Structure 1
């Protein structure tokens, strides 16, 4: 094995290990805010960020859940006073909107997420964080384009959750044109 192969294998291996640790820590932290299961934080933040008043079908697509699974999740969120159902544009659909308590909870989820993720960066210098941002943006663009290719060829049999379902749009700079996922999708290439 060459040194380049060894470095690539090492990088892939440590990226995998780090991804799991960070995802586990973040998911545990944000799930503790609602204690309603792993999809609730993503649902609340998605509704808060871009889907307030959207349909259950749209939420199902964002979360990568079946329609019936999303309906059960919405039932739990309604029971907790976090969301309310309403009439959608299409009379056959149901919209979902955050209550004031739901909006506050979504904001707490985003704050908890940020705290969890920034703690993982605490050992890095500002220069290292800058380099990491560049690498992560490149990786996210690549992943986004690969997902778009999979969807175009319909090689994925089950729904894939959106990459940005638990994102803080302000932090990624989406409105300023800095979000690599949005940039890849708006060029017609990604999701």
Structure 2
């Protein structure tokens, strides 16, 4: 049965307000750890989870930053001893890798992220959490497919940051095939 438009509008409005509140709390908590700007936690988490040893161009794509903006971010992270640039044997490519300190900070960012997000679920019953999880899986699949369509139709000029840029892959169940973002589109279109 379809909900009346006013109920959908109300629910959408609540979702918008909650999304901002949860994102603001999470971002404030994780940004305080690195104290290097809003993109640093996502860069460190992405490198920790799936991008360690990637190029600046790959990291730029994940973060949705310009190449020059990503270079400046990597410079700041390197100056703090969190990442280092490693040249390939042929000298043509440079990879960005986490240092021991960077890996520790990334793990701290992911733990802080989890604490912040879990606190938003504190008053929900186990059944409500399960129902919310199912709804969120469906919503993430829908959003992922829409983003893939925008990319293929080239309707958006600016780069989209990856949805998974600050994700905890163990929590999402990616390796078990449970991640709705990973499952929604072929790997060539993944966001």
Q: Structure 2 length normalisation: TM-score? A: 0.95
- Separation in 2 of the partners of 1:40 and 1:164? 14
Query: Paired residues, what number?
Result: 190
- Separation in 1 of the partners of 2:88 and 2:62? 17
User: Secondary structure in 1 aligned to 2:4?
Assistant: helix
User: Secondary structure in 2 aligned to 1:54?
Assistant: coil
Q: Which runs of 5+ in 2 are unaligned?
A: none
Change (3 A) 1:111 1:174: same
Q: Structure 1 length normalisation: TM-score? A: 0.95
- Structure 2 partner of 1:48: 48
Q: Within 5 A, what are the aligned runs for 1:122-133?
A: 122-133=122-133
CA deviation profile, 1:51-106 (whole Å, cap 9, x unmatched): 11100000000000000000000000000000000114774332100000000000
- Structure 2 partner of 1:72: 72
- Separation in 1 of the partners of 2:16 and 2:90? 42
Change (3 A) 1:89 1:65: farther
- Structure 2 partner of 1:144: 144
Q: Within 5 A, what are the aligned runs for 1:28-177?
A: 28-88=28-88, 91-177=91-177
Q: Which runs of 5+ in 1 are unaligned?
A: none
1:62 and 1:161 in contact (8 A); partners too:
yes
